[in-house]
Amino acid sequence: MKVNFTGRHVEVSSALKAQAQERLDKMASFLDDIIDVHVILSVEKHRHQAEVTLKTRASAFVASAESMDMYKSLSEAMDKLESQAHKHAAKKTSGRHEATPRKDLVAEEV
């Protein structure tokens, strides 16, 4: 899994990278085909925004969050991404079930 970090008007610290990497490692347990992850952290005045894009072979997930603290923004974005990934993994495993056989609706002769 390749992880890219981009900081817009902010220096991406090693603590932020470690926090994101830790959460992504947890997601790798149920999304086994992660190809690329792009984490964009930006600051505009007092708004700290985090956007995370995760690409797998079959689909792509995007989550973003905004708050007054960068760590909180990153955590919220990762929560959203994890929720999307869980939902996707559940859809993959649930599948369709075979229909139960119906009783023949034949009228009995009296």
Q: Spell out the domains of the chain, with CATH numbers in brackets.
A: 2-89 (3.30.160.100)
According to the 3-state scheme, what is the secondary structure of 17-86? HHHHHHHHHHHCCCCCCEEEEEEEEEEECCEEEEEEEEEECCCEEEEEEEECCHHHHHHHHHHHHHHHHH
Q: Does pLDDT of 44 surpass 90?
A: yes
For residue 110, is pLDDT > 70? no
pLDDT of amino acid 63:
96
Percent of the chain's residues with pLDDT above 90: 58
Q: What is the pLDDT of residue 100?
A: 66
